[in-house]
Structure 1
Amino acid sequence: MSRRRMLLLAATVVAGGAVTAADWIYDRPQHALAGQPAPSHSSSALAGTTAKPALSPPQSPRILPPPDPRHRVRLPANGVLSRLPANDDTMALTVDDGVSSEVVRDYIHFARDTGVRLTFFLNGVYRSWTENRDELRPLVDSGQIQLGNHTWSHPDLTTVSRSRIRDELTRNDRFVKDTYGVNTAPYFRPPYGKHNTSVDAVAADLGYTVPTLWSGSLADSTVITEDYIVTMANQYFTPQMIVLGHLNHAPVTHVYGQLVDIIRARHLRTVTLNDVFLPPH
């Protein structure tokens, strides 16, 4: 039996290590903010590797399709989005940044090979978004991958001028339109999850009326082990969750098989934000 097949058939069971939503601030684990060491990880898991992502073989059933678009609902009245509406099977996996061109490419292959639907909140400053354009564009055109605005260069918007906020959002918006032919409004994810009334007002004036946060995280904004990512997926891959991941570090690309196994075992329907919400009027 091939290693890929063995990984696919392995049960995804992780004991202990439960983390609640209160343990997360912005996109880093609480232990990192407190200056404490991360949970114990094996050095071998962090070492460089050429292992390919463990994807499901083509003959395996794909995950559940997106919901009927006629069932889409209005965006929340207060504008801030961190969870999906009450539902028994939908989950949004949203992935940020794009530091690594290889990780962006592997996520594209993950979506293409499994049917998982994703929302990428990208920073156009990274070359990954031009290098992977030809492979990503068909999935954007089909709606399987949605693009959202994460600013051009990832500053803390609460610490910069209103003109800088405007420039960060408009430059990224222009890049996405020129490169992928789509409009990312009304969804923007403020870097580190930090926003205030001033940030929201500037963004809304540009059409970005929905600051999009999250309710669970893979905790992979820094390099962590593959086992820890699977632990986080076990914790947060549940209905109504908007889960935060990152397109920056390789370990997540080695556990795609385990991630899709969790999605299938829990009968989850992965969705983009456009799958769930009606466009604003």
Structure 2
Amino acid sequence: MESQAAAASGSYHFGFKKSRNGELPSIAQEGFLEVLKRHEAIFLGNTGEKELYLTFDNGYENGYTAQVLDVLKEKQVPAAFFVTGHYIKDQPELLKRMVSEGHLVGNHSWSHPDLSATPDGKIAEELDKVKAGVAEVTGQKEMKYLRPPRGIFSDRLLGAAKQLGYTSVFWSVAYKDWDTKDQKGAQYAYDKVMPQLHPGAVLLLHSVSRDNAEALGRIIDDARKLGFTFKSLDQLTVREYR
């Protein structure tokens, strides 16, 4: 998950040094550590506790979110789903189910643009439309979390989002799971996720992935066997940056 700062535009593409052998991942070399700190964005939770925060990006539906929700319900695991305008319009029943089953629905922007290159007024419009759309469909009035599309962000964007009441949420566990034409099986997903687990991890998975849907139950079970507890973003009280 390497990234490069776009110095001319002041934008960054979130990336991190992956966890290996239980070591904590790091963003120290990526050039945006102070930006995240300044705006109190989430990258890690409390690294002193074996806590995991499960999040999904939902730009569109590929037939696997119901299966994901079934697993989460069976295992009693909370999650956060970051949705776009397309998802709100296309999948109202799944949105209702997310909220009714106790999950958080977060903001992934209305049209999935590069928000770092979007004027402040348009940023507000992008985020307000998602919040209003989710409220209309599900009754969830509050929306506190933002995941910038494609992980592209800037100091200005995070500041504007914070003024609108959002905490920006990035991640410390991820792999290339979003390519629906390059799915390699549940074992592959399991093998990509499990070695990255670490205390305070924020996991990013994409619900369009068949591999994720099929591996999720085993990932949850085996993470618990290792002593990890799954918590909601609302329970994250300590942000760490490394």
Same-fold call, TM > 0.5?
yes
Q: Could you say which residue in structure 2 is the equivalent of 1:87?
A: 48
Count of matched residue positions in the alignment of Structure 1 and Structure 2:
206
CA contact (8 A) 2:79 2:104 kept: yes
Unaligned ranges ≥5, structure 1 = 1-22, 31-75
Q: Could you say which residue in structure 1 is the equivalent of 2:184?
A: 225
Distance 1:193 1:133, change over 3 A: closer
- 2: CA distance between counterparts of 1:135 and 1:206? 26
Q: Could you say which residue in structure 1 is the equivalent of 2:224?
A: 264
Distance 1:107 1:177, change over 3 A: same
Q: Name segments (4+ residues, structure 1) moved above 4 Å.
A: 24-30
SS state of the match for residue 92, structure 2?
helix
Quote the sequence identity (%). 21
Q: TM-score, normalised by structure 2?
A: 0.75
Q: Deviations over 1:84-139 (max 9, x none)?
A: 02333211111112411522211111111111221111113224540324433321
Task: Give the alignment partner of residue 199 of structure 1, picking from 138, 141, 157.
Answer: 157
Q: Could you say which residue in structure 2 is the equivalent of 1:215?
A: 172
Q: Could you say which residue in structure 2 is the equivalent of 1:37?
A: none
Q: Could you say which residue in structure 1 is the equivalent of 2:202?
A: 242
Q: Deviations over 1:249-278 (max 9, x none)?
A: 322112223212322221211111102239
- 1: CA distance between counterparts of 2:125 and 2:212? 32
Q: TM-score, normalised by structure 1?
A: 0.66
Are 1:139 and 2:97 matched, yes or no? no
Q: Could you say which residue in structure 1 is the equivalent of 2:58?
A: 97
TM alignment of 1:1-281, pairs within 5 A: 23-25=1-3, 78-100=39-61, 102-126=63-87, 127-140=89-102, 145-208=103-166, 210-223=167-180, 224-226=183-185, 227-277=187-237
- 1: CA distance between counterparts of 2:54 and 2:207? 12
How large is the RMSD of aligned CA atoms in angstroms?
2.6
Distance 1:268 1:122, change over 3 A: same
Distance 1:246 1:146, change over 3 A: same
